[in-house]
Amino acid sequence: MAKMRAVDAAVLVLEKEGVDCAFGVPGAAINPFYSALRARGSVRHILARHVEGASHMAEGYTRASAGNIGVCIGTSGPAGTDMITGLYSASADSIPILCITGQAPRARLDKEDFQAVDIAKIAAPVAKWAVTVMEPGLVPYVFQKAFHTMRSGRPGPVLVDLPIDVQLAEIEFDIDAYEPLEPYKPAATRAQAEKALAMLNASERPLIVAGGGIINANASDLLVEFAEIVGVPVIPTLMGWGTIPDDHRLMAGMCGLQTSHRYGNASLLASDFVFGIGNRWANRHTGNIPTYTEGRTFIHVDIEPTQIGRVFTPDFGIVSDAGAALQVFVEVATEWKAAGKLRDWTAWGDECRERKRTMLRKTHFDQVPLKPQRVYEEMNKAFDRDTCYVSTIGLSQIAGAQFLHVYKPRNWINCGQAGPLGWTLPAALGVRAADPDRPIVALSGDYDFQFMIEELAVGAQHKLPYLHVVVNNSYLGLIRQAQRGFNMDFEVSLAFDNINASGDAEAGYGVDHVAVAEGLGCKAIRVRSANEFQEAFNTAQTLMKEHQVPVVIEFILERVTNIAMGADINAVVEFEELAERGEDAPTATLALLD
């Protein structure tokens, strides 16, 4: 046993739990913890410009990693409340991050001290566990429980709040005797797997819906192996995109109201059996539940018992980690195939592939200002199979999911349920911190980009290069499109004549993103026409390598483009087809989309 401050013990525990990077902002109430970080020098610290930004950096770090957990740190009061959005985003998508906050001394907690707030109580609804540590001797064991909690069952975030006198108190602790706790993960049984395979065998037109739980379990290879053994097409959810490569013969497209493919929706509607693994039946995937479920049998595999039946009751539910379930599914399917017991779904797979070949949306437009579809077409040409895309919400993200291609797990980094504007930029920095080598392309509309644009300075200061594609129509595009249902276009335009804009800025488009990005220490390029694409992408890559900073490419879009979406998976409005016929889309179907 050794005598040390509680915060020194905490940092030793972080090391043992595999933490090698943290994001945060120092402050008076958390400075003891920072002194322990500095003394050890084992955990890289990246200084954010906003504590919410730090929480999203931690998210990006975890989402890009195959096991490491992102950490964000802030002082008392507003630093903790700034982290709430990150906690919510992480909780909603089953992402473990550790938020550490400073706090007023214990004796002052009920005295309305400066920046003293009950952050554990505030964070509780959006964290898997939130605690204020009141006894110094508990500090290392609270951190031990925090990591066990984050990794067990459905993963999720934890907040640990440390009063300053607790941080400074001396305790006895032996790090050499410390061992991380083994996480609890339920596992499917062979009997459950045999029942699931028997139900699958009874179907004629089955699909596998692959969710983000497969990525969390690092089980994408098992998913592809299972799909290939049984010969059943796969529809990944938005959070499961990349579990199977986009060009795999069994990848049948995504289904949903917005981030979906025409062929994915059509194949789901033509199916009679859906095998959901590690997914949660999110509403933007399912749309109207009766439409989604009618005439279909469902199996649902999820690590969290209360997810089974939460949205609708499946015909068979299995509580299991996705990786553990797929392992036993593969074993049983392999045996059944060798014994000739598996049904042949070749004809059904051919049907799905034909829809994938023919049911495509138009992307090749030459006009100026640019149509967004052309931007994504050119991105597919410019970026290779290893590219990791980072995005949050808006027409930019929806169109990205409709037109881009993802070939590997953790190469689509997206906050699926919460969708906070501003998330993309700090999350991309977290992805870069987690992986110094992979190609990273962030995708934002102009409003998402403006929300936390100050974090570009973090990328410049800490040498975190990545490419940020900004599609600029000077609108809150998704909200403008949703307002069609109310016959209005109200307070969603970002356009104004910027009297300070540089000579190259687009007149009337408002914020000069190129000037702001360069003022924050980064590089930026503006693109107006299709013949500039190749040079812009090549120049951006050169600038990133030369300067090791984020590089922004801003594409000037036409002000109004409606992206395909609808109120139900059988009623997605294809605006470009309507426009080519000289028709307008029905507005009522879009009224409640956002």
Percent of the chain with pLDDT over 70: 97
pLDDT, one tens digit per residue, over 449-463 is 999 999 999 999 999
Q: In terms of pLDDT, which residue wins out, 108 or 308?
A: 308
Q: Which among 270, 242, 244, 236 has a CA at the least distance from the CA of 354?
A: 270
Paired tokens of 566: 């609808």
pLDDT, one tens digit per residue, over 244-298 is 999 999 999 999 999 999 999 999 999 999 999 999 999 999 999 999 999 999 9
Catalytic residue among 122, 479, 494, 593: 479
String of DSSP letters for 500-537: T--TTSPTTS-S-HHHHHHHTT-EEEEE-SGGGHHHHH
Catalytic residue among 11, 19, 46, 51: 51
Band (pLDDT 50/70/90 cuts) for residue 576 is confident
Euclidean distance between CA atoms 549 and 177, whole angstroms: 42
Band (pLDDT 50/70/90 cuts) for residue 582 is low
Residue 406: partners with Cβ closer than 8 Å, 6 or more residues away: 241, 242, 245, 246, 389, 412
Q: At what angle do helices 51-64 and 84-92 cross, to 10 degrees?
A: 20
pLDDT of 581 reads: 63
User: Average pLDDT, stretch 382-400?
Assistant: 93
pLDDT, one tens digit per residue, over 350-384 is 999 999 999 999 898 888 898 999 999 999 999 99
Residue 311 annotated to the active site:
no
Residue 229 annotated to the active site:
no
pLDDT at position 61 over 70 = yes
* Domains, the chain: 2-177 (3.40.50.970), 190-358 (3.40.50.1220), 372-565 (3.40.50.970)
String of DSSP letters for 550-588: -EEEEEEB-S--PPSEESSTT-EE-HHHHHHTT----SG
Euclidean distance between CA atoms 101 and 80, whole angstroms: 6
pLDDT of 507 reads: 77
pLDDT at position 583 over 80 = no
pLDDT of 588 reads: 39
Question: Torsions phi, psi of 568, nearest 5?
Answer: -155, 155
pLDDT at position 589 over 50 = no
Catalytic residue among 25, 46, 215, 330: 25
101 touches 220 (CB < 8 A): no
Residue 319 annotated to the active site:
no
Paired tokens of 110: 């009920």
Query: Which helix (H) or strand (E) element contains residue 63?
Result: helix 51-64
pLDDT of 410 reads: 96
At 277, is the secondary structure helix, strand, or coil?
A: strand
pLDDT of 508 reads: 79
pLDDT of 431 reads: 97
Catalytic residue among 476, 527, 551, 556: 476
pLDDT, one tens digit per residue, over 410-437 is 999 999 888 899 999 999 999 999 999 9
Residue 25 annotated to the active site:
yes
Residue 370 annotated to the active site:
no
Catalytic residue among 215, 342, 421, 470: 421
> Sign of the CA dihedral 197, 202, 204, 205?
negative
Question: Torsions phi, psi of 3, nearest 5?
Answer: -90, 135
H-assigned helices in 65-138: 78-82, 84-92, 119-123
Residue 534: partners with Cβ closer than 8 Å, 6 or more residues away: 378, 382
Q: How far, in Å, are 22, 469, 506, 535 from residue 503 at the CA level?
A: 40, 21, 8, 21
